[in-house]
Every structure is written in C-alpha cells, then in structure tokens.
A and B are shown apart, each in its own frame.
Chain A
Amino acid sequence: MRNLLMVSAAALMAVTSFSPTVRAQAAASSQGAAGSQSGSTKIPDLSGDWGPDRARGGMGQSLSISDIGGRKRGNEDDIPYQPWAREKTLSEKTSTGPDPKFDETTDPQVIFCEPPGVPHIYLWPIKTKFIQTPEAVYILHELGPFFRVVWLNSKHPADVDPQWWGHSIGHYENGDTLVVDTIGFNDKTWLDQMGHPHTEQMHLIERYKRVNEKQLELDMIIDDPGAYTKPWPSHRNFELRTTGFLRYQQICSIRENQQFFNNTAKPAVGGPAAK
C-alpha cells in the first residue's frame, strides 16, 4: 500500500510539475516572445560551469555596454533613462565599483541579503550551470544558491504574480541559442551593482549562445517602459571553468556581512585612525 501511494504521488508530481500540456492549460493566453518554437529543433549543448570571462569584460559593475565599470553611473549614453530612473540611480549608494559607500550602501542585496535577481546575478564572481531537460532548462547559480526554471515552449500566465525572479519561458533558436523570455518581476532588485532600477513592467529577453567549447555569450534586451524610454541592450561574456561547481555555498548572511564590515571596513571609514 505504501509503495502504491509513493508511486502514485510521484506520478502525480511528474504530471503536474512537468507536463507541458497541463502547464499550457493552466496558463492563460498571453503568449510571450519566447513562447513559440522557431528555427531548428537542434538543441545546443550548454553543459559546463560558466563564470565571468576575465579576458572579455570580466565581472563588471554595470549593465551599460559603454561603461561596464560604472564610472559614468547615471550618465551612460546607452541607457535611456526616464527622469525618475536616472535620479533614482544617482541617489543610490553602491557597495562596490569606482566610488563605493560600503558603510552606508543602499544595495538591497547587501543590507537585506535579498536575492539579486536577474540580470544582477551575472555581475557576481560566481558560476552558472544549465540543466537542460525536455520540459525546462534549470539555471543554477552558485550565489544563493539560487535557481531559475525556464519552461520550454510554454506560455506566461495571464496574471503573473510579481516575484524576485519573474516567470520565464524559453525556446531554442537556430540550433545554437537558448532564448529566455521573463516577465513578472517585482521591483525590489537592482539591475546591476550600480543601482539601476526597474519596475514590475520589466520584460527581459536573454539569448544564451555557446560560441565555442569554452565561451558562452549572453545578449539581453531590457524592456521596461516604467523606467526607461525604450528597450536597451546589454551583454555578458562567460568562460568555461573546470574547477568544480558549488564547492562552497555563497550564502548571504546579515550577521556575516556585519562581521566583515566591523572587522575590515568600519575601521577604514572616516578620518585618521586612533593610534
């Protein structure tokens, strides 16, 4: 009897969790940009551990393609701010970058240990792994550790609850690219380390392409009519790492953050130290 119950439960979970048919029925009619299969049905191999490509841009601080280091924060020529978004960006106090205010940062990831969300997570020195299944691609991050589910050839729900990582659907394109379409973000995360804001209207398109065995590229379009006047592009380069995945859990702890601040940063803030 117990075995029968376990088998039944497993079967039910499998059907309700992974069946595209059931998901499609549950989903409403809003068809996302990545919701339909197009091009070749060949599935690209995204296996491996992918870290920021140190020879091609590195980790970076900003999503601005022209200002990856964040030195022109608020005045980048490739970010089409709405006035409030520019003011909001300039009002933030970053914890890293060219002019960090670690002692008084407003970075919600640092002060509250909130999830960085996407694409912010790609501006961390951590690796990412893709688990490809017929129904979904699971994107695993060493930070958190967090993971995202990209439902393949599916649809966004009609009324998405705003959440930290949004709702993602995707498909393969041209036999070499994974296209991910995400909506349903909350507005609590920064887009990057430089404090660029977004609203719940953000619609993010990610295109992951393995250009060769050791390099992966991500092209993004950030479309947020609530914060920016038009969609704008960003880009990240990744390199294959062979040192192992998640050998240490990069977990955010407010207690550990406070300890670190007290030990190494707080004494360095302000005027000359007492002798």
Chain B
Amino acid sequence: MQSNLKTTTTIVMAVAIGLLLVSSKVSAHHGANLYDMTKAVVLKGTIAKFYWGNPHNEVAVDVTDEKGNVTHWVAYTEPPLVMLESGWTRKSLNFGDQVTAYVFAAKNGSTVGTLSKIVLPDGKELVAYGAPRGAAPPAAAPPAR
C-alpha cells in the first residue's frame, strides 16, 4: 500500500505544483455573496469602536451628514493574528480618530461590510482586505517570540 501511495505521490507532484501556480484568487471571507466586493464605499467619519479580537477585528465608524444625522457603520477585517503581519496592532485605531474608511458594503443596503482600508488624518493607510503580509513588524511591535 505504501509503495502505491508513494508512487502516486510522485506522479502527481508536478501536476499539483503546476495547477497551484495558476490557481485563481480565492475568497476566504464569509461574505463573498453578502458584500459587494467590486467597489468600496468611501466613508469619512469618526472611529466609534475598534474591536481587536477573534474571530475578526471590527471597526465601527460614525458618519455624520450635512444635516447632522449620524450613520453607524461596522466593517470587519481578518483576525489579529493575520493583521499583525500587515503591521496593524490593537492601537492602530482609537476612539474619536477622524478617518476615511473604504468598505465593501452589504449588497442589501445594511451599513456593514468588509474593510478594504482606512486612511488616517496624516495620510497613513492601513490596508485590510488583500493587505500584503509577511513584512517585518513595526519597530514598536511587541517581542515576536
């Protein structure tokens, strides 16, 4: 049995590697059919809450229109373990921060979605969806091991 398995492994190895190389982009998000991933809604508002935790971080943004009406948005990112690799920390966003959030919003009109990125007042961008990972953590990051 083992020799057969080993032979099979050898035969398929090249094919496997080849197919993986050309595989299409894969959605790992829960809301591939709930959110419009083709375009992001741009929200200029205030951070109302930043939940840093499992299973996903959540960013709440209050958007106030010209009449003073406040709309509450909630967008999620991948979990801390993943976002740490993109340079995010639990202190990346703070209550009251003025931000511009780019959100892939719910198709049904609800003010929820998946966060694409956030731009801070100083122009710094925090990329969420599709963020590059694997770069060195920021200097202020806690010890890695």
Contacts and interface: CB of A to CB of B under 8 A. Distances in A.
A220 B116 CA distance: 35
Interface in B4-56: 4-5, 8-9, 12-13, 15-17, 19-21, 23-35, 53-56
A260 interface: yes
Interface of B: 1-2, 4-5, 8-9, 12-13, 15-17, 19-21, 23-35, 53-56, 58, 74-76, 78-82, 84-85, 106-113, 133-137, 141-145
Contacts of B56: 260, 264
B81 A54 contact: no
A116 to B, nearest CB: 13
A267 B106 CA distance: 8
A57 B28 contact: no
A271 B108 CA distance: 6
30 contacts: A33-B2, A51-B133, A54-B134, A57-B23, A65-B16, A65-B20, A66-B19, A68-B20, A68-B23, A69-B26, A102-B31, A142-B81, A205-B5, A205-B9, A207-B9, A221-B9, A233-B8, A233-B9, A233-B16, A243-B84, A243-B133, A243-B137, A244-B84, A248-B79, A252-B55, A263-B76, A264-B76, A265-B31, A269-B34, A275-B109
B32 A99 contact: yes
Contact of A256 (B55, B84, B110): B55
A270 B79 CA distance: 25
Nearest to A181: B2
A96 B32 contact: yes
Q: Is the interface of A mostly helix, strand, loop or mixed?
A: loop
B110 A273 contact: yes
Contacts of B141: 244, 247
Interface stretch (A8-16, A82-90, A160-168, A234-242): A234-242
B27 A96 contact: yes
B122 to A, nearest CB: 24
Contact of A268 (B9, B110, B133): B110
A221 B135 CA distance: 33
A29 interface: no
A60 interface: yes
B54 A273 contact: no
Contacts of B12: 65, 219, 233, 235
A44 interface: no
A241 B134 contact: yes
A225 B135 CA distance: 43
A253 B51 CA distance: 15
B81 A248 contact: yes
B16 A235 contact: yes
Nearest to B60: A263
A14 to B, nearest CB: 26
Contacts of A68: 19-20, 23, 26
A250 to B, nearest CB: 5
A245 B145 contact: yes
B144 A250 contact: no
B103 to A, nearest CB: 11
A221 B23 contact: no
B135 A243 contact: yes
B54 A125 contact: no
A247 B144 contact: yes
